[in-house]
Structures are given as structure tokens and as C-alpha cells.
Amino acid sequence: MKRILIASAVGLMAVAAASADSRGDGSISVRPGMWNWKQETSVIGIPIKETNLECLIPEKATITLSKLAYDLDEGCHVENVVATSNGYDFDLVCQGKYPGKADAQLVRTSDRQMSIRAKGSAKVWGIPAGFSMKADATYQGECAPDELQRQQQKYAEEQAREAARGGG
């Protein structure tokens, strides 16, 4: 699983509202702004730690768990999504570069903090391996105007490429 939940963790910061849609997928709305997140992933007992500060724009403030999984790897999807009082429990299933399955939880601890936890197994170079991940995110405030503008321009370019491919 490609850097499990690292890139998309920022898209799940500070859950403001959570709901399950008619397909059984989860959808969350998030607080736009600057987010600090820390993640620790362990595969075969080898820890990988990462910290990131990123600007989340309003245009990306709502995301489904399915989109989160797809952003991880095109071969990933979610199953058995269950809304909880403070987020979601779900299975993350990947069939791409690192096939595997993890029990995952997305939990809102306040409107300024959230966490994601996952534990399961993946095949690394064809060998089954234990896997765990924890990520914690904290809202830091508004994005700097120049960074907000840069992220919105990047988003507009992504949307144009997607529309040109017929996906948007």
C-alpha cells in the first residue's frame, strides 16, 4: 500500500461532519486551513515516520473514504464502512502494488484534531507482512494567502486535466 494514508491524511483533517452515503461509503467535510500531521507506519516491524504541514483548500474540504482509498493507490477501495459516533470504521482493501487488507478507523477527537489508525497485512515483494499505521492531525490556522492561491491554482489545473480525460 503506497505510503499508506500519508498523502490523503491531510484531506481528512478536522472532521467537521461525517455521514454515510447510499453506496455505503463514508463522506466527511473538513475545516480548510493549515494542518500539521504526524504519521508512523510500520511494515514488517520497520517504522517509518513522517511529519507534514499542508494547506487544505475549501475546494478539497469534502472527501469520501472511496476517494481517500483511490488516492492511496488506484487498486485500493473501502468495504464494510460503518459510521461511528465520531467517525468511521472500515476495511481498506488494496490490490495494486502492495496488495493487502487493513482494519481502519477514522476518528474525530475535536473540530481541531483527528486521527486515523489501520492494522492489517500486505504483500511486500510477494511476501505477507504485518502492517500498522497511525496518523494524527491538528489544525494550525488559516493558510497564508499566497499558499492558498497556489493550492487553488494547482486544484484548477487538476480539474482541467480530469475534464480533458472525460472524468470531470
pLDDT for residue 24: 67
Is the separation of the CB atoms in 28 and 90 below 8 Å? no
pLDDT, position 6 = 35
Range of weakest confidence among 6-10, 89-93, 107-111, 149-153? 6-10
Mean pLDDT of 57-61: 88
74-93 average pLDDT score: 91
Report d(CA 148, CA 159) in Å as an integer.
16
Least confident residue range of 2-16, 71-85, 114-128: 2-16
At 12 the pLDDT is 38
Q: Which residues contact 8 (CB under 8 A, 6 or more apart)?
A: 63, 68, 71, 72
Report the C-alpha gap between 47 and 45 in whole angstroms: 6
Dump pLDDT digits (tens) for 84-140.
988 999 998 988 777 889 999 988 777 778 888 999 998 888 888 898 888 888 899
Domain boundaries along the sequence of the chain = 6-142
